[in-house]
Amino acid sequence: MSAVETHSGALILDALAEPGPLVTVELRPPRTDLGREGVMAAWIDLHHTLSRLTREKLFVFLTDNAVGAAEEESLAHIGANVGEAIDLRRVVPILTTKHTLTYCENFARRAASEGFDALTVLGGDKGVGPPRCVPHGSELRAILSRKVPSLTLGGWANPHRDAEEQVRFVTAPDSHARFALSQIVSHHSLPGVEGLLRAMDEHRAGVPIIFGVFFYRSANPKTLDVLSRFFPVPTEELTREFEGGASAEEICARTIRELRAVGADKIYVSNLGNRSAGRRLKRILEQV
């Protein structure tokens, strides 16, 4: 690992402890149904993007079978092909419970041995894919915290649900979460974000939350309908914004601005695409 910085604990925790805004990126490993040449080309794109983003001191979360689509396993490719070129502490894999327990334990061990220092552990969507190996992400985090204590583990929070319940989920002694990703939100769901932040503050919860922002490329009804199966999509509002002439980058920037205005200044941006993530993110941030 070509790390030039020295930090105590996981690098992502150091960044989350710093005051002020933080922008991170969520990327997807290639889908398994692309065929050999397609998978190879997609990995090359992802490797280049990871190198560019981490050189710019950005953190990247790597999904695990996002929205039910089977994805290539991230560790083998990244550890073998770009592990020496980038600081793997800036890459945070996501692991769901939608695998065998043996797979999950081996995944965590390999992540630690490759040089990753954090892992986000989620339950995973119950409606698609294989069954969970344990009922909840917290149970898998409990197992992995014993098996691989060197890894910093992250959890999950949902601003679209009861705030008090979500605070208990991420702060309970048996949660084993040092940080949490949130479900996708937007400037059309600010009350839920504010409610969660208020509850976290009232309980003096010290678990930082990284709020999810989705890069909607269009208001295509079929696409929005598919996405709405996995997270709340403000379909009517987005359609009005696009029909009013707003660009995809402008809408995404608006969400980031308004999240920051209510105190949600740590975010991850999803759906930027592996080939052009850096360029798209730059255009978005120029409008924030």
Domains observed in the chain: 11-285 (3.20.20.220)
**Residue 41 pLDDT more than 90?**
no
Per-residue pLDDT at 207:
96
**Residue 104 pLDDT more than 90?**
yes
pLDDT range class, residue 48, cuts 50, 70, 90: confident
Q: Worst-scoring range by mean pLDDT, 24-33, 140-149, 162-171, 176-185?
A: 24-33
Which amino acid belongs to residue 116? F
pLDDT one-digit tens code per residue, 227-236: 999 999 999 9
Among 20-34, 60-74, 121-135, 243-257, the range of highest mean pLDDT? 243-257
Residue 122's beta-bridge partner residues?
96
pLDDT range class, residue 39, cuts 50, 70, 90: low
Average pLDDT, the chain: 89
**Residue 159 pLDDT more than 50?**
yes
Q: What is the mean pLDDT of residues 186-192?
A: 97
Per-residue pLDDT at 124:
86
Per-residue pLDDT at 2:
35
Per-residue pLDDT at 128:
76
Among 108-112, 113-117, 130-134, 138-142, the range of highest mean pLDDT? 138-142
Q: What is the mean pLDDT of residues 262-285?
A: 95
Per-residue pLDDT at 282:
97
Per-residue pLDDT at 37:
67
**Residue 213 pLDDT more than 80?**
yes
Residue holding tokens 């079929």? 222
